[in-house]
Structure 1
Amino acid sequence: MHVLTNGTVVDADGVREADVAIEDGEIVAVGDTGRGDTTTDVGGKFVAPGLVDSHVHLMMDGRPDVSTAQGESDFDHSYIAAANLRKAVEAGVTTVRDLGATGTLALDAGRAVAEGRLDGPRVLACAKNVVMTGGHGHWFGREADGPNEVRKAVREQLKRGADVVKCMATGGVLTEGAQTGAPELTYEELAALVDAADAKGVPTAAHAHGKDGLLNAVDAGITSIEHGTFMDREAAEAMAAEGTYWVPTAAALRNIVENPDAGIPKSAMEKADEAAEAFVSSFEHAEAAGVDIAMGTDAGTPFNYFDNIADELAYMVEYGLSPEAALEAATVTAAELCGLDDTGRVAEDYRADLVVLDGNPAEDADAWQRPEAVFAAGDRVV
């Protein structure tokens, strides 16, 4: 048993002075833990849950023009994924949810981490996105048209072992010719997707920027809306009423609009600038309606690097969340969205996914930067 002594525990349940005991990858005691076989003195430090990023793309490396990846092999993408996994866990991210990769790349990466062949966070993955023919992200998605074909596409991903089914309900910023806010998959197609996933008890996620496509997804029973850029009051209230999670991915737009002359395609820059203006009010509507917010970054998109995932918490605070709310979004709420009941808190019987920080993240969102120590399933990786 390894014990972290003399520290201050901070999570969604509050702040308290407590030792934390770790054994066989789990937290076995918080508080009076007794003597451990080994100890680490974290006096003056804060012990918090590891971050949960519920929207990443392991095969992407932050290059300015993601379309250039189309000419690369799955082997190239696997090397990128391995590097991203290491960067993420060293940054204090102990769980990621991959929402789109070629073939079974992300699922395979998750198995490699679980079996100890790669260092990284726990990986949940969707396998391929389900998209309309020629839709957003079609080059690495599973194109499908009509409810029956969409249902088959979902079943293919479930057969591969998908932990979540991801689809494109609207166009997107980074696909040439796609209209960011325009609906792509129809309500009937989305309903078929949800029905097929529900049969296996698997959650669903929909890329949705525009209001009409977002409402289609909510009405169809989608578990989470990714981006939600043009969310208005009606859309936010619909999400709250249905219990639909929102994954804002603030870093995705932020890292595009702040790099206007760095090689990002002109069409993407124009769409991102328009979307960024609307995004501010999305946070206002979501908070007013009481939408559940889960942290996700879209890591891998232009200049959106895996070692900078913790920036998302500071961005959420800039958009109006308190540091405590950002902490909750990035730990227990994101874990709940991912279907994990053993992650996101510093509590007995939870996975020993922990970070040791110099500052109190419930008071300062920048405290997540540069953790002094990171434990992933009990193993110290930093």
Structure 2
Amino acid sequence: MAEPPFWHYTKIIKPMFDNKPVDQIVLGRIITAVGDEVIEDGFMEVRGGKITRVGARADLGTPEAGLDIRDTGGKTLLPGLIQSHGHLSWDGIHELSFQSMYDSPEIRAYKAAGNMLKSLRAGITLVRDLGVHNANLFAKQAVAQGIVPGPRLLVSGESIIQTGGHTYWVCREASGADEMRRAVRDQVKGGADLIKIMACHDTLEFTDAELEALIDEAHRNKLPVTAHATYDACIRRVAEFGVDCVEHGGSMSDETIQILLDKKIPIVTTFSALVLQAKPEIARAYGIPEWKIAERQRAVGDKTRFDGLVRAAKAGVPIVFGTDAGSPAVEHDKLAPELEFMVEVGVCPNRLDAIRAATIRAAQLSKLDAKIGSLEAGKEADFIIVDGKPDEDLYALEHVNETYIAGKRMH
């Protein structure tokens, strides 16, 4: 393993924010994210930041004296939501290239702090921040050292691109195999948890030697590689070269889908920019031009464009929730439209499966499913309490009453 980032050597005498886990028994409806299990009248016991028991209220028995028992009055408990494709220092309000080039480091930090607060209020307990610059490395440090409250973070540091490649104005440019290795090593040095690459835009990017070196260097350092890949030739190429995840996805041949299945490569679908920018009343509020609204409406209305993703999902390729939060009109607390569209378009067969895409499957993507992602005894108590029944109406997730991470009340 690589040396830890510099800040790991800093002695923290006292975190600025240091919540303590709450030992309690919570009563309510429970969506465990274990298959389609819903416990209509259930309880969950939390001790020391971990779930110790989950079951029907009738099986609760006599609780230990002094243990706080909270009746939610029929509210729903479910695992904390996992945002698997977000950009915390993009605000979803302003134009991407402008804020990427002209936001000061301090403003990026404030945006990330504000978006972490919004994420917690929306029930997000883990954000997989995919760059594109290195601000997320410092967001992770701030949360880990108790400087600011936030969700769990998995961060990529700078997204790596070929010189002049897709979003060159904000990513880490490199040319040649040796520069690719150096770019990866710099992210590792900064404390990245994964490596993000931009593998295409209108054309395929990276030479074979560059792609091979980049993926090899990341894997040598025990980090997974995730690739922005939006059409068949690109998806197939990065899968064959050995990436661990595909971001966005797009058109796919049966042969490409089979490669994803054979290599167990998931896709994080990100529909929110299309969906939200296709709604005139929303898009206009964010300054989206009329031609873009019309373009987005045509895209959302033509379900055949999602055929590759639907066929991949039905074939068994894991589909994981992510909104590309920070993109125009996609603020970090807008989750339900993405989940609803996942069901509407068919990459998730029903609402419970969409919830699993944002909980247990997201945890599996990040190799954290032994720790979080479902409400089961032995796991850390990452959970939320919401009004309503999100398994019947996903927009109930817009009414999060409480958010807990490892038993600590964060909202």
TM-score, normalised on structure 1?
0.90
SS of equivalent to 2:131: coil
Q: What is the RMSD computed on CA atoms of the aligned residues?
A: 2.3
CA distance in 1 between partners of 2:291 and 2:234 (Å): 21
User: Using a 3 Å threshold, how does the CA distance of structure 1 residues 58 and 194 change in structure 2: closer, same or farther?
Assistant: same
SS at match of 2:197: strand
Partner residue of 1:40?
A: 70
CA distance in 1, matches of 2:130, 2:167: 11
Within the alignment, does 1:191 sit opposite 2:212 as a pair?
yes
- Which of 83, 108, 114 pairs up with 1:53? 83
Q: Which residue of 2 aligns with 1:127?
A: 157
Indicate which of 318, 332, 345 corresponds to 2:344: 318
Could you tell me how far 1:152 is from its partner in structure 2?
Answer: 1.8
Inter-partner Cα distance in structure 2 for 1:250 and 1:2: 38
Amino acid at match of 1:216: R
Other-structure match for 1:338: 366
Q: Which residue pairs with 2:117 in the alignment?
A: 86
Q: Give the 3 Å change call, closer, same or farther, for CA 10–115 of structure 1 in structure 2.
A: same
For residues 83 and 40 of structure 1, the distance between their equivalents in structure 2, rounded to whole angstroms, comes to: 30
Percent of aligned positions that are identical: 36
Counterpart among 286, 290, 304 of residue 330 in structure 2: 304
Q: Aligned letter for 2:406? A: A
Deviations along 1:311-349, one digit per CA (max 9) or x if unpaired, are: 321121111221121111110111111121311011122
Structure 1 residue aligned with 2:13: none
Q: Secondary structure at the match of 1:140?
A: coil
Distance 2:326 2:117 in 1: 14
1:354 to 368, 383, 386: 383
| Aligned AA (2:102) | G
- Work out whether residues 32 and 376 of structure 2, in 8 Å CA contact, stay in contact via their aligned partners in 1: no
Deviations 1:43-71 (A, max 9, x none): 31221001001110011011252111111
Q: Is the 8 A contact 1:255 1:303 kept in 2?
A: yes
Provide the aligned length of Structure 1 versus Structure 2: 372
Q: 1:191-216: per-residue Cα shift (whole Å, max 9, x none)?
A: 22221111122111100112111111
SS in 1 for 2:52: strand
- Give 1:283's aligned amino acid: L
Tell me the residue number matched to 1:380.
Answer: 409
Which residue of 2 is the match for residue 256 of structure 1? 277
Q: Specify every segment of 5 or more residues in structure 2 that has no aligned partner in the other structure, as ranges.
A: 1-21
How far off its partner does 1:221 sit?
A: 1.1
For 2:208 and 2:234, locate their aligned partners in 1 and report how far apart those are by CA, in whole Å: 8
SS at match of 2:163: coil
Distance (Å, rounded) in 1 between the aligned partners of 2:190 and 2:114: 23
Structure 2 CA distance for partners of 1:267 and 1:210, relative to 1, 3 Å:
farther
Q: Is the 8 A contact 1:169 1:186 kept in 2?
A: no
Report how far residue 294 of structure 1 moved: 1.1
2-structure distance, mates of 1:266, 1:133: 32
Residue 200 of structure 2 corresponds to 170
| Aligned counterpart for 1:328 among listed residues 346, 356, 361 | 356
Using the TM superposition, give the Cα deviation of residue 21 of structure 1 relative to its aligned residue in structure 2, in angstroms.
2.0
Shift in CA distance, 212/267, structure 1 to aligned 2, threshold 3 Å? farther
**Structure 1 residues 111 and 137, CA gap change in structure 2 (3 angstroms):** same
Residue from 321, 332, 348 that aligns with 1:295: 321
Instruction: Work out the CA distance in 2 between the residues paired with 1:314 and 1:65.
Output: 26
Q: Secondary structure at the match of 2:400?
A: coil
1:371, CA displacement in angstroms?
A: 1.4
Contact 2:26–2:69, Cα closer than 8 Å, also in 1 = yes
Q: Distance in 2 between matches of 1:329 and 1:121?
A: 18
Q: Please state how far the C-alpha of 1:355 moved relative to its aligned partner.
A: 0.9
Q: Confirm or deny: 8 A CA contact 1:130 1:153 kept in the other structure.
A: yes
Name the residue aligned to 2:46. Answer: 22
Which runs of 5 or more residues in structure 1 are unaligned? 172-178
Counterparts of 1:84 and 1:377, CA distance in 2: 20
Aligned counterpart, 1:147: 177
Higher mean C-alpha displacement, 286-295 vs 21-30: 21-30
Conserved? CA contact 1:299–1:306, under 8 Å: yes
Query: How far apart are residue 161 of structure 1 and its match?
Result: 1.2
Q: Deviation digits for residues 275-299 of structure 1, max 9, x if unmatched?
A: 6546422332222321101111110
Q: Does 1:367 align with 2:396?
A: yes
Q: Distance in 1 between matches of 2:215 and 2:294?
A: 32
The structure 2 residue matched to 1:98, chosen from 129, 148, 165, is 129
Matched letter for residue 26 of structure 1: K
Cα separation, 1, equivalents of 2:355 and 2:223: 26
Secondary structure of residue in 2 paired with 1:300: coil
Show the counterpart of 1:175.
none
Query: Which of 10, 25, 30 is the aligned partner of 1:9?
Result: 30
Residue among 107, 111, 115 paired with 1:76: 107
Asked if 1:283 corresponds to 2:309, the answer is: yes
Bigger Rg, which one:
2
Q: How does 1:205-224 map to 2 (within 5 A)?
A: 205-224=226-245
Shift of 1:265: 6.9
1:9 CA displacement? 1.8
Kindly indicate whether the alpha-carbon contact (under 8 Å) linking 1:91 and 1:310 is maintained by their aligned counterparts in 2. no
- Aligned partner of 1:174 in structure 2 is none
Matched position secondary structure for 2:169: helix
Q: Which SS does the other structure have where 1:124 is aligned?
A: strand
Measure how far apart 1:229 and its partner are: 2.4
SS at match of 2:78: strand
